Chains A and B, each alone.
Chain A
Amino acid sequence: MILDIVSTVFIAGAALLSLAAGIGSLRFPDLLSRMHASSKPQLFGLVMVMFAVGLQIRHWGPVSTMFIIVFFQLFTVPVAAHMIGRAGYRTKHLRRSMLYRDELDDAVARAHAREVAERERRELAEKDRDTDSAGPASGSASGEDRTANDHDESDTGR
């Protein structure tokens, strides 16, 4: 009898956590915040449901399958969350300005500035080398360099 009550309490807790996850995915303003709310509390809910099932079914067979289920969720939920978070951060139209401090943006901006500087340096070096030899191919060489590097940037057909 006590086991039944404990199992019921666990399943009710899991149901409430699922409801909280759903409401969170509805109420939170930003994609990344919704990411937190939707998949994480439900992992704990799943563990509670597994406890409830384990208390009810006291054979070793199903318990081992439940171990597998919990371990699978444990290893795949953070990976999926990380990948969705990364995709959500990288694509500009999904990221709103709802971030208080964004150190990743600073790092990326610094890296981008440095890369642009590198590219310009290379072009200027080539231009200097070419103007020294006074060849007519200087313009086309730097132009080629520019188009090869700007190919991805200018491919904004989408």
Chain B
Amino acid sequence: MNGQQGIPLVNLDGGPGTVVGLVIGLIFLAAAVVAIIRIVKGPSILDRMIATDALLATIMCGVGGVVAFSGRTDLLPVMLVISMFGFVGAVGVSRYVSRADLRTTARYRRMHRRDNDTGLIGTVEGIEPSVPELAVELEEARLVDPDRAARMEGRETELEASSLRVYFDENGTRQEVTRAEDPPDGSSPSSSGGSSANPQKNSRPHEAVADSDSQSSDADHREDDFRGGDGA
């Protein structure tokens, strides 16, 4: 391959061939300059990496143009090496950036968990409640009774999220609202007087949902922490 020569496209003595070659070269130059502007300006490292990729691809096309114009074929492995640099650089920078922001990637890392019992891989959606009846109950609660759904999901109900401390429920008796930071005294806060739920049914629903085995233990979670990167 190194010895073979193609037919040169442009003879540099003059004529229209030279002008065409010059114009094409200027277009490549403009593309490279614009990419360099983005490298300088880019507010984040990923912008710079993208612009570097664009610059490398422009260089590749330029070298290909040189190969076509001058007929020399020993520049073809150069194109291969340039593309390899571009790829490895892009992947390396993106992995570095993914690790650098721990708060968000920790959240994502927990989304891709492995369940040792059933072998399921956790997903972005999270892991469904393992008991199907509870899943159905949760869906029904979401449609009918938002306070119960909030309680099953462990969120705060509207009443808790407000700043009320004392209210009067539908029977007219005085109820106190206990918050999560209050010491548990057996009477969990019931729903507001306006909704139609009965407090007895709502009092300990978290027991029913908590009986379902959570599908990943802490050991599994820690193993994911030691595994390199974000599971990429």
Chain B residues positioned under 8 Å from A58 (CB to CB): 6
Chain A interface residue count: which class?
35 or more
Q: Residue on A with the closest CB to B70?
A: A56
Chain A residues positioned under 8 Å from B126 (CB to CB): 110-112, 114-115
**A62 adjacent to B4 (CB under 8 Å):** yes
Q: How far is the CB of B127 from chain A (nearest CB, A)?
A: 8
Chain A residues positioned under 8 Å from B125 (CB to CB): 107, 110-111, 114
Q: How far is the CB of A67 from chain B (nearest CB, A)?
A: 11
Contact of B152 among A92, A107, A117 (CB under 8 A): A117
Q: How far is the CB of B169 from chain A (nearest CB, A)?
A: 23
**B46 adjacent to A121 (CB under 8 Å):** no
Asked whether any CB of chain B lies closer than 8 Å to the CB of A134, the reply is no
Q: A134-148 interface mask toward B, CB cutoff 8 Å, 1 = contact, 0 = none?
A: 000000000001001
Interface residues of A in 77-97 (CB under 8 A from B): 77, 79-81, 83-84, 86-88, 90-94
B residues in contact (CB < 8 Å) with A:
1, 4, 6-7, 9, 20, 23-24, 27-28, 30-35, 37-38, 41, 44, 46-47, 49-51, 53-54, 57-58, 60-61, 64-65, 67-69, 71, 73, 76-77, 79-80, 83-84, 86-87, 90-91, 93-95, 97-98, 100-111, 123-127, 152-155, 184, 206-207, 209-211, 214, 218, 221-222, 225, 230, 232
6 pairs, A vs B, C-beta closer than 8 Å: A11-B68, A25-B50, A42-B54, A62-B67, A117-B154, A153-B103
Chain B residues positioned under 8 Å from A111 (CB to CB): 111, 123-126
Q: How far is the CB of B26 from chain A (nearest CB, A)?
A: 9
Chain A residues positioned under 8 Å from B87 (CB to CB): 76-77, 79-80
**How far does the alpha carbon of A26 sit from the alpha carbon of B210 in the complex, in Å?**
53
**B38 adjacent to A108 (CB under 8 Å):** no
Q: Residue on B with the closest CB to A129?
A: B210
**B101 adjacent to A31 (CB under 8 Å):** no
**A31 adjacent to B47 (CB under 8 Å):** yes
Chain B residues positioned under 8 Å from A39 (CB to CB): 50, 53-54, 57
**A83 adjacent to B91 (CB under 8 Å):** yes
Q: Residue on B with the closest CB to A145?
A: B218
**A62 adjacent to B101 (CB under 8 Å):** no
Asked whether any CB of chain B lies closer than 8 Å to the CB of A16, the reply is yes
Q: How far is the CB of A117 from chain B (nearest CB, A)?
A: 4
**How far does the alpha carbon of A77 sit from the alpha carbon of B90 in the complex, in Å?**
9
**B73 adjacent to A62 (CB under 8 Å):** yes
Chain A residues positioned under 8 Å from B68 (CB to CB): 7, 11, 49, 52-53, 55-57
Q: Residue on A with the closest CB to B110?
A: A115
**B102 adjacent to A50 (CB under 8 Å):** no
**A124 adjacent to B210 (CB under 8 Å):** yes
Q: Residue on A with the closest CB to B106?
A: A152
Q: How far is the CB of A23 from chain B (nearest CB, A)?
A: 6
In the A-B complex, the 5 residue pairs with the closest CB atoms: A152-B106, A111-B126, A57-B6, A22-B34, A117-B154
Contact of A4 among B9, B34, B47, B97 (CB under 8 A): B9
Asked whether any CB of chain B lies closer than 8 Å to the CB of A98, the reply is no
**How far does the alpha carbon of A46 sit from the alpha carbon of B206 in the complex, in Å?**
60
Q: How far is the CB of A115 from chain B (nearest CB, A)?
A: 6
Contact of B4 among A7, A61, A116 (CB under 8 A): A61
Contact flag A62-B50 (CB < 8 Å), given A19-B34, A83-B94, A111-B125:
no
Contact of B47 among A21, A34, A43, A118 (CB under 8 A): A34
**B97 adjacent to A56 (CB under 8 Å):** no
